[in-house]
Structure 1
Amino acid sequence: MQSTQTALGRFPTLKASAYLQQLCKHFAHKIPVSFNETSGEVGLPTGTCTLSASESDLQITVTATTLEQLERAKTIIDSHLERFAFREGFKTMHWS
């Protein structure tokens, strides 16, 4: 039986829904994505990302089969949000 690796990322922002939708629309050009204004799921090749937007933050749970894939998925999310949320000084999600 193969174990899974999981990380939860949190980005405090008043624009969580906008970033969730922007990420999902961006990824939808190449990979399977489903989303609405407050939730989404992205099937990255390195792992599945489940997104959730509230009035105060964006939360993303990444699930992968290996620690290496998990780290790669987190890097993909961080690098895209760094471009999309640069006006807010975004550098990285608060991962746990």
Structure 2
Amino acid sequence: MSVSIARVPTQSASRYLQQLAKHWSHKMEVRFTQQEGRIAFPGGAVLEMRADSQTLDVALTVPEGGDVERMRDVVSSHLDRFAFREAPLTFDWVDA
């Protein structure tokens, strides 16, 4: 299992968290509030998000054998779409 985390600077973290959760809610298991969200992907990966006034913290867990880089790209590219006014967002992914 691989865990990647990123702290994304943005003053619109809560809005982006909610937009992403709603976007994927018709395909995946999604739970979210204004400050926290969890998205379970079909292949077993899980994205957890936490929003505050200055950052969106994301933690991406990918099962053994999963394509970590692809999943990072999926998450960052979707968030960039919602953040088109300030995109590209800064994702400094690190392994946890």
Gaps of 5+ in 1: none
Q: Which has the higher contact order (CA 8 A, sep 6+)?
A: 2
**For each residue in 1:44-95, what CA deviation from the matched residue of structure 2 results, as whole angstroms up to 9, or x when unmatched?**
2341000100110001100011364322221111110121111102255221
Point out the structure with the larger helix share: 1
- Cα distance in 2 between the residues matched to 1:71 and 1:45: 17
Say whether residues 1:19 and 2:16 are aligned partners: yes
Verify the 8 A CA contact 2:8 2:56 in the aligned structure 1: yes
- Which residue of the partner structure matches residue 64 of structure 2? 66
The size of the alignment, in residue pairs, is 93
Consecutive aligned runs of 4 or more in structure 1 exceeding 3 Å deviation: none
Give the root-mean-square deviation of aligned CA atoms: 1.5
Verify the 8 A CA contact 1:82 1:92 in the aligned structure 2: no
What is the SS of the residue equivalent to 2:28?
coil
TM-score of the aligned structures, taking structure 2 as reference length: 0.88
What is the SS of the residue equivalent to 1:62?
strand
- Which residue of the partner structure matches residue 49 of structure 1? 47
